[in-house]
Structure 1
């Protein structure tokens, strides 16, 4: 992996190494995510017996968004704790912390989580509007993949900024696929 981390994107060879790394990250994340969604629906892992209408779909997705909100709240709490923790560097109110500090990393991760939460919420609502009630459990499976992606993002980022790509892909790709599917269903029925 050090070859990947040392690759120079300004050269053709370096760009090939980086793109191969991103492709590997996408496949490593997307294939298990798709398999999980399929298996979760096949095994009926999530209780959906009470979902009978599109309105119920929205209530079901609202439950999903409560968990996404908890993830976002946890990241914001981490920023608060990092800000309050005394360290050698004096953080000045209104100024960005030094790059690479715990507070800087916490703020960057929280900002990305906020962005991803908005995209995820839109994807969940879009799916709720087009899925029949008997398929709404797909949104819950995507929630599990999304939460796993957020955890992968944090763990990867803490190891090295490049490794956040695995968690980023695990988070954004299911949301992107969901939005594309919803748009397809809206346009073509």
Structure 2
């Protein structure tokens, strides 16, 4: 190849084109943006591709000034095609911008104050449960957490169904009292 460029011109043969190149870029930016706006869905995409195209064109600033326009639009078309391939391979058309649609999203999360109140209520309940007598707490948790029936608890613990009923009643009364006392203490 002997150092010549792909289009047959000698790189560097137009040395000193910097002022002319800068003028070309300024003059072409508006037309390039108009060209890109017709081919992309957003102003932001048009601006991005125009910027990318102009930056890539810098590599060719030493070529003949007559070639800059065709090079610029070839670069822009290639950038459009690259972006389309990337979008297709990443299913970009299936994505929703949260910036544009955030106002329409409803959160199922509780607000911060409600979450804190629930955590505090849970801590109070846990403290009240831990304050129950061990046997009473075990029977209550077998019923309420494990879902066991009174006869199942009786068989599991080796006690009568009547004893299970008494322990459950006692646990409920103690929990009610402790939770009410804690609520009044706040």
* TM-score, normalised via structure 1 length: 0.29
- Which has more radius of gyration? 2
Q: Which has the higher helix share?
A: 1
| TM, length-normalised to structure 2 | 0.30
